[in-house]
A and B are shown apart, each in its own frame.
Chain A
C-alpha cells in the first residue's frame, strides 16, 4: 500500500507541462490524455481551505466545493478547467472561475434516460474535444484516443479485479480499497497500475490460502453517498474502528463507476466518442434523475457482495445526496437490509457523535446475525 500512502500526501499537485484540472466523474479523461495533457482531479477534502473559500462563496455551499475553491484559490494553475454543470455548487464554481481562468463547462442532461439526453451528451463530449484541441492547438487523433481509451480501460479492469476480491473474505481493508480507488485519479497511471497489480497478486494468494483477515469479519458494510476525499477520511475509519467490515463503496470518489470500461464498436473517432459518452452517462450520480440506474447497481452490489447494511454519506448542504438518502430509505424497505444515513462536513467536531451512530448500527447488525 505504500505507493498509495505516499501519493496521498501530494494530492494538491502543481502541474508541469500541459494540464487540465477537472471536477467530477462525468469528464471523459481519455480526451485530455489524447490531446497530450495531464488530467488533474481537483476535488479536495481539506477542512482548512473551506474557511478561506467563504470569502467568495455562500457559507451554505457543500464542503467539497468550498474546500476546492479554497485550495486552488481564484486562479487554479491549469491551462484549462473542465467542470460539468451538475449540482449548483459545481455550476457556480465554474462561473466564478471563468473570470480569470480558461473554463469549459459541460452541459450534463438532468434526465439521463431519454434519447434526447443521450444526443445532447454526445454533443457535449464533442464540444469538449473541440475545446481541448483549440486550447492546446493540437488535433486529437484516432490513434491517440485509442491509446488513451485502452489505458483507461486497463486501469478500470484492474479496479474490477480488485473489486472481484471483495466477494467473500476480505484481504484488504475497505479504507485501503477506497484509497486505491481515489488515488487512481491523483496518481500517474503506470505507478498506480504497478502497485495495484501487487495488491491483486497478494490478495489472490491470500484467497487461495484462505487467509481472510479475521479482524474484518464483522457485518459487511457498503458505503454510498457523497464523495469522500482525503484527508476527510473519518467515515471509512469510523466504520472499521467500530468493527464493521467495509466491503466496498459506491462513491464517485471511489469505485462507483470504476468497473465500467468503454467498449467502442470500432476504432473510428466517432465510435470511440460514442463509447466514452455512453459510459460516462452511467455515472450513477444523483445530480441526474431518475434514481433507477443507481438503485439497480446498489441492489446488484448488495447481492453479489453479501452486504449486511448500508451507510449513506451526505455532505452538509448537498441536496442531491440528501434526497438520495430519502429515496434509498424508501426503497430499502422492500429489502431486508438496514440503512444508516449520516450527515456531516469536513470538520472533526462530530466524530464522537458519528461514532455513536455507527457503533449502534453495527451492534444492530450483529444482533441480527445472532438471533
Chain B
C-alpha cells in the first residue's frame, strides 16, 4: 500500500499543508495562522486531505515545521523550517536543475540556505530581528498604497525607477511612503523602490552565505513578479521557482515525514 505523508508548516502568518506520496503532490492548502496554531493546522490538514481525496487515517506520517511546530498534537515529529525548506527545494531540483542556494522570503523572516550537491544544508542565515524585508513589510506598505500584495508586483513593473526608500524599519518606511505620496510620487514608483530595498537586504544576506546556482526563490513573496525582478537584478542572476513557492517547506516536511517513517525513526 502506498504511504501517504503530510507536512504542516505553521508560520507566523500562514499555515501550509502538503500531502505527498513521495512522487507527487496530492493535496495542499494555505491559510492564515490567526490566533490558534493548532486550529490552523487542523484546518490546513483537512483542506489538503479534501483536495487529495484521502481520509486522515490514510496518512501514515505527519511532520510539522515552522514556528508553531512544537505545539501541534498530531505530529509524529518536528523539524526546523531550514531543513524542511532545503528538502523541498532539493525535490524541485530534480525538475529545475540542481539547487545551490535558496532565498526564502517569509512572513516575518528571510532565510538564505546554501545547499550541497546532494541537497544537504551546507550553511544558512536567517534574519528575523524585525519585519523589514519580509512578506509582512510588503503587506503593510501595500496597504498604505491602497493596493493588495498581488497588485504590487505588476505596479512596480510600470515604474521608471530612480526613487529610493531608505528606511529599513516597517514603521519608518510607512511614514516615508506617506510623505512620498504627499509629494505626489506615483505609487508605481514607490512599489518599485520598495522591492529594490528588500532585494538589497536579501542580497547582502545571500552574499554572506555565498551564492551558487541555481538560485531557488520561494516563500509567498516569490509569487510577486516585481519582487522577483528586483532580486534578479540585485543578484545579477536568474532565479528559479516552482508553481506554488509558498508550500515548498510543507512539501519538504511531508517528504521528510515519509523518510523518517521508512527509516524507522
Contact = CB atoms under 8 A, between A and B. Distances in A.
A359 B84 CA distance: 12
B80 to A, nearest CB: 4
A359 B123 CA distance: 13
Interface in A355-371: 356-357, 359-361, 363-364, 367-368, 371
Given A356-B67, A363-B80, A363-B82, A368 B124 contact: no
**B80, B82, B120 — most chain A CB neighbours (10 Å):** B80
B80 A359 contact: yes
Contacts of B81: 356, 360
A359 B66 CA distance: 12
Interface in A332-371: 338, 352-353, 356-357, 359-361, 363-364, 367-368, 371
A359 B82 CA distance: 9
Interface string A289-328: 0000000000000000000000000000000000000000
B123 A338 contact: yes
B132 to A, nearest CB: 15
B128 A353 contact: yes
Nearest to B123: A338
Interface size class of A (residues with CB under 8 A): 10 to 19
Contacts of A364: 82-83, 120-122, 124
A3 to B, nearest CB: 34
A352 B121 contact: no
A356 B69 CA distance: 10
A239 to B, nearest CB: 14
B83 A360 contact: yes
B263 to A, nearest CB: 10
A339 to B, nearest CB: 8
A367 B128 contact: no
Nearest to A352: B67
Interface string B123-148: 11010100000000000000000000
Give the residue among A338, A357, A368, A371 with the most B Cβ atoms within 10 A: A357
A360 B80 CA distance: 5
A368 B115 CA distance: 12
Contacts, number: 41
Nearest to B65: A356
Nearest to A370: B120
A356 B121 contact: no
A367 B121 contact: yes
B118 interface: yes
Nearest to A353: B128
A356 B126 contact: yes
Contacts of B83: 360, 363-364, 367
Interface string B53-88: 000000000000001000000000001111100000
A359 B69 CA distance: 12
Of A353, A356, A368, most buried by chain B (CB within 10 Å of CB) is: A356
Given A352-B67, A353-B128, A356-B67, A367 B120 contact: yes
A357 B109 CA distance: 12
Interface string B97-110: 00000000000010
B123 A356 contact: no
A359 B83 CA distance: 9
Contacts of B120: 364, 367-368, 371
Contacts of B67: 352, 356
B79 A371 contact: no
Contacts of B122: 338, 364
B124 A363 contact: no
A363 B118 contact: no
Contacts of A367: 83, 120-121
Nearest to B78: A359
Contacts of B124: 360-361, 364
A352 B67 CA distance: 8
Nearest to B67: A352
A311 to B, nearest CB: 13
Contacts of A356: 67, 80-82, 126
B209 to A, nearest CB: 10
Contacts of A338: 122-123
A323 to B, nearest CB: 14
Interface string B2-38: 0000000000000000000000000000000000000
A364 B114 CA distance: 11
B145 to A, nearest CB: 29
A361 B83 CA distance: 9
Interface in B189-231: none
Nearest to A329: B208
A1 B257 CA distance: 39
Nearest to B128: A353
Given A356-B67, A357-B80, 19 more contacts: A353-B109, A356-B80, A356-B81, A356-B82, A357-B82, A359-B80, A360-B81, A360-B82, A360-B124, A360-B126, A363-B79, A363-B80, A363-B121, A364-B82, A364-B83, A364-B120, A364-B121, A364-B124, A371-B118
13 contacts: A352-B67, A353-B126, A356-B81, A356-B82, A356-B126, A357-B80, A359-B79, A360-B81, A361-B124, A363-B121, A364-B82, A367-B121, A368-B120
Task: Please provide the 6 A-B residue pairs with the shortest distance between their CB atoms, ordered closest to farther.
Answer: A360-B82, A360-B80, A364-B121, A359-B80, A363-B83, A367-B120
